[in-house]
Amino acid sequence: MQDAPSTVHPPAANADAALLRRMAAGDESALGALYDRWSPLVHSVVMRIAGDPDDAEELVEETFLQAWRQAGSYQDSRGGVATWLAVMARSRSLDRVRLAGHRRAAAAEPLEAAEGTGALDPSPLDAAEVAETRQVVRAALDRLPADQRETLEMAYYRGMSQSEIAAATGQPLGTVKTRCRLGLQKLREALSVLGDGR
Amino acid sequence: MTDEPMHPELRDALAAEAVDALDGEERERLLAHLAGCEPCRAELAALRESAAALALAAPARPMEPARAGRLRDRLLARAAAGRPAASADGDDVTLVAPPASDASAGPGDDVTMIAPPPSEPPARAADDVAAIVRPPSEPSATPADDITAIAPPPSVTANPQVIPITAARRRSTLVPWLAAAASLVLLLAAAAYAASLRGRLRSLEEQVAAAERERGELARRMREREATLAAISAPSARVIEMAAAQPAAPSGRMFWDPATNRWTFFAHNLPAVRAGREYQLWLVTADDRKISAGTFRPDPSGHAVVQATYALPADALAAVAVTEEPAGGLPQPSGPIIIAGAASTE
């Protein structure tokens, strides 16, 4: 795989990186700009997991405060700032849901795979390359067999372990492992097309 | 196209770990292996990056604009309050003033922050306290330093003996006196300022302590509620409705989670019990055994909550009932049934 040199990133990613540098220097207006760009995405992630608008509001706030505190230690990667934020949002949301001791019904909503691409994008705020990544991920998920997609979904969005997934679906553990690997591998291939295309 | 991992037999485990789904023992084995295997570590990192893209596939759920705006304001205010560079060490007086307003905002923050796990704000509050607390630990040093900084002429005040000699130039002798008077005024002002800071400090410390106590209390209550909620909202929880056996319309509801053996009972509109009497909650089994689930008294408005842990086979419950009994309860019910409900079989 290619190491992403900085030239890979279009101006939007550079804009994000610049915002993080200003945040690290204590400029909270940069945090405001980051929030304006990415809060729709972060909110979508936390709603997907926590399901409750009040919880979601707090989780969005915590996620951006964490970004504020850790802006100085951000390491650029192919996923960029959007993925960095989304991963923090997921992790905090799963912690919250686990703390609450139960998984909420709202989390049963499926990933947006089969609904076509882009129609529900908060696109005005999505940087172009993230919109592209979203389309690729959704298209890849769309092509996955339903059982592989569900396995990834249960692990990633509901924080379930493989044995929990096996118990919940009534499938043997080995089947769950295979589905998880195959699903992730296909996702990776789809994304590598995106990466190599640049 | 994808790089083959060095250890193909670990592919399943690596994929599972990339989505945090690997179970305990298998995970420990993998982590132990990763510690010494760079190719597998690289593979895991690549898989994690792919998995991270899943986050981007969440269905778009925009925030309500009003909520989004409110959150934005709060976020920026909190970021400004917690700006890391703001607390430079050194000048105590300027240090005290900003954190003072900061800290008075802090406890308020913390109260609204109770709901989320209070990861950062308490630490920040503690920092602020430390910053505020510092001056009184060296109370004499600070005002003295300030005075020498603000009014250099203590050496001038030491010159009164010179006055007779320079009597002819009265106007100029006035200067040291004025300077002395000015420094005295400054000294008094500084002392008054220090006293007011000490007072403010005390009140801030009290506020922080009060907020801390309140936070602890709220956190405790929230833990209790979450435990209750978990017990009654578990997927396996069963609900037994109970209707009134008396015209006063008391009612109750039992939540039973056979998976955890947790029983959570809520009652409403229960009449007050006489002295020496209590209500007793009964689980009635299909073979007509009556198992006490505890005694209780309702609060003045007739509400009561009882929690119990008791293992009962999922199909063994026939009914739940409340009777009035002598305080402390009896092994078997003797008094009138206040409310009762049959356990429906699902």
pLDDT value for A183: 93
User: Is the CB of residue B263 less than 8 Å from the CB of residue B254?
Assistant: yes
Please give the share of chain B, as a percent, with pLDDT higher than 90.
Answer: 14
Q: Is the pLDDT of residue B45 over 80?
A: yes
Q: Is the pLDDT of residue A83 over 80?
A: yes
Q: Do A188 and B50 touch (CB under 8 A)?
A: yes
A34-37 own/partner pairs: CB under 8 Å, 24+ apart: A34/A64, A34/A67, A34/A81, A35/A64, A35/B72, A35/B75, A36/A125, A36/B72, A37/A125, A37/A127
> Which of A189-193, B62-66, B70-74 is predicted with the least confidence, judged by mean pLDDT?
A189-193
Give the mean pLDDT of B297-301.
Answer: 87
Out of B56, B60, B78, name the one closest to residue A137 (CB): B56
**Residue ranges of B 213-252 with Cβ closer than 8 A to chain A:** 226-227, 229-230, 233-234
| Alpha-carbon span A194 to A129, nearest angstrom | 10
User: Is the CB of residue A45 less than 8 Å from the CB of residue A90?
Assistant: yes
Task: Identify the residue among B4, B28, B75, B228 best suited for mutation to test binding to A, counting A beta carbons within 10 A and taking the highest.
Answer: B75
Helix (H, G, I), strand (E, B) or coil at A125: coil
Average of per-residue pLDDT values in chain A: 78
Residue carrying the six token digits 């309140």: B214
Q: Is the pLDDT of residue B106 over 70?
A: no
Could you report the predicted ipTM of this complex, rounded to two decimals? 0.78
Out of A78, A180, A188, name the one closest to residue B16 (CB): A180
**Segment B261-281, tens digit of pLDDT:** 888 888 888 888 888 899 999
> Which of B79-83, B194-198, B264-268 is predicted with the least confidence, judged by mean pLDDT?
B79-83
- Is A27 at the interface with chain B, CB within 8 A? no
Contacts of A46 (CB under 8 A, 6+ apart): A55, A56, A59, A60, A63, A89, A92, A93
Give the mean pLDDT of B9-36.
Answer: 90
Local confidence band at A23 (pLDDT 50, 70, 90 cut-offs): very high
Local confidence band at B113 (pLDDT 50, 70, 90 cut-offs): very low
Type of residue found at A36: D
**Segment B197-241, tens digit of pLDDT:** 888 888 888 888 888 888 888 888 888 888 888 777 777 777 776
User: Is the CB of residue B123 less than 8 Å from the CB of residue B195?
Assistant: no
DSSP string over B112-157: HTSSS---SHHHHHHHHHHHHHHHHHSTTHHHHHHHHHH--THHHH
User: Is the CB of residue B103 less than 8 Å from the CB of residue B126?
Assistant: no
Local confidence band at A12 (pLDDT 50, 70, 90 cut-offs): low
> Which of A63-72, A101-110, B63-72 is predicted with the least confidence, judged by mean pLDDT?
A101-110
Angle between helices A146-158 and A162-169 (to 10 degrees): 130
Q: Which residues of A touch B50 (CB under 8 A)?
A: 184, 187-188, 191
Local confidence band at B16 (pLDDT 50, 70, 90 cut-offs): very high
Give whole-number Cα distances, B254 to A63, B11, B92, B264, B302, in Å.
39, 48, 60, 6, 16
DSSP-H helix ranges across A100-161: 128-143, 146-158
Helix (H, G, I), strand (E, B) or coil at B254: strand
Contacts of B275 (CB under 8 A, 6+ apart): none
Q: Which residues of A touch B52 (CB under 8 A)?
A: 79, 83, 86-87
Nearest to B214 by CA among B113, B78, B74, B82: B113
Predicted structure pTM score: 0.48
pLDDT value for B153: 43
Burial category of B233 from C-beta neighbours within 10 Å (exposed 0-12, middle 13-18, buried 19 and up): middle
Type of residue found at A116: G
DSSP string over B30-45: HHHHHHT-HHHHHHHH
Nearest to A56 by CA among A45, A71, A67, A70: A45
User: Is the CB of residue B314 less than 8 Å from the CB of residue B344?
Assistant: no
Residue carrying the six token digits 């801390």: B212
Residue carrying the six token digits 């929230």: B222
Q: Which residues of B touch A149 (CB under 8 A)?
A: none
pLDDT value for A7: 38
Q: Is the pLDDT of residue B254 over 60?
A: yes
Q: Is the pLDDT of residue A5 over 50?
A: no
